[in-house]
Each structure stands twice: as structure tokens, then as C-alpha cells.
Amino acid sequence: MSDVDAARAQWQQAQGDDLLIFTSPAAVRYATALTALDTRAVVVATGQGTSRALLRHGVDAQVPTTRQDSEGVLALPALQSLQGRRVALITAPDGRGLLQEQLAKRGATVREVHVYTRGAPRLNRRHIDAVMQLPSTACVLISSADAMRHLLTFLPVAARDRLRRAVAVVSSDRIAELARLDGFSRVEMASSAHSEDLLAAACKICSRTPH
């Protein structure tokens, strides 16, 4: 059985569970590419971007209204009492592990369905030159802690320093905290990880920044 066939079989089985938690818009996109979303489960999205992706498949998911991350998901009323419940995480490998740990502590039987993988970027001279040309008024849109860490790892020192001078527009409290730890001195929060919300936050910042 190929990896794709195995993922498809796991995804089909997961749709019979009690709760489905999608951790990103990518998780929705790749899961539904394997086979259609057809479930009676309670469906949860980690943020508005993931919720919108699910809505395009006819699913009105529960979504945190405060923190749009694992902590926000864990605060949802539907996830407080999980004894004997089957919960499937639709995600990629190598996540934080917080959801798995806390859901199991609350009595759930947890399965992970890995429908895609995250990879490190392949940066070339063109990417580095683009970063080196960023003005201090630039905004960098960050919706993934992994993407931010990969970028800061693979960029040369001078390009890293230039990137950190920009305003980091982030999609969650957790990424905001990590951005500050990684050296960004100016961090602003978008309302979600959706590209429209990240761009709206950047536009708001630019409108009040003298040029």
C-alpha cells in the first residue's frame, strides 16, 4: 500500500470518529483531495482560515473566538469532556503535540491522520536578495511558526538581521511570542491566519506608518 493509499484509508476511517480537528487550511485541502469530507462528527477548526476552507466543503466548523491556536481549540466547550470519545486530528507530522497530550488527558481516544508533510524552504540568491532589499517599514506576514524558524535558520546572518527589522504580522499569540523570542522587535496580530486578514493587518500598519 502506498503512502497516499494509507493516508486515504486513515482519513476515511477518521470520518467515523466523534470529533474531527483540522489544524490548518492545508489539512483541509489535502484531506479532501484524498476523498470527500462526509461525516457526522463534530468538526473543529483551529482558526478562521481553516474554518473558511471547511465551509467551502459545506461544513460549518466550531472555531475559537479568542486564541486561534491549539490553546484556543482546547478552550472550546465541545472539548471539555471527552471520556470515551474518539477524536481525530487532521494534520501534518511533527507538530507541537499539545493537542494530542491534552485530549488524551481528557479521556479521548486520539488518532492522528497525516494528510501532508511540512518541508524546509529551498532558498536561493533571489530570495536572499529580496530580503536584503526590505525597508524597515516592510511587513512580513507569518502564519506558521515552522516557516518562520526555517526562514531564520537558512538565511545568511545579514539577511536574518534585515528580516528582523521588519514588522512581523502574525496569526496567533503563540507565533507572536516566538517572533519576539526570535528577534522581531515589532510584532502585530492579525485576526486569523487567512491571507486576507494578514494583508488587512499589514495595510492598517502601513496606513499609520510615515514613509
C-alpha grid cell for residue 119?
A: 518541508
| Alpha carbon separation from 92 to 31, 130, 156 (Å, rounded) | 11, 29, 28
Spatial contact of 123 and 153, defined as CB atoms under 8 Å apart: no
Strand 187-189 with 19-22, pairing: unpaired
Asked whether the beta carbons of 171 and 142 are under 8 A apart, the reply is yes
Say how far apart CA 148 and CA 42 lie, in whole Å: 32
CA 65/CA 56 separation, integer angstroms:
20
pTM of the model: 0.74
Q: If you compute the radius of gyration of the chain from its CA atoms, what whole number of angstroms results?
A: 19
- C-alpha cell read off for 42: 463534530
- C-alpha cell of 195? 491571507
Angstrom distance (rounded) from CA 122 to CA 12: 33
Going residue by residue through the chain, which has 211 residues, state the pLDDT in tens, using 9 for 90 and above.
Answer: 568 889 999 999 999 999 999 998 999 999 999 999 999 999 999 988 899 999 999 999 999 987 778 888 999 999 999 999 999 999 988 777 889 999 999 999 999 999 998 777 788 999 999 999 999 899 999 988 888 888 899 999 999 999 999 999 998 888 999 999 999 999 999 887 778 888 999 998 888 765 5
Say which amino acid occupies 105: K
Residue 62 has which C-alpha cell? Answer: 466550531
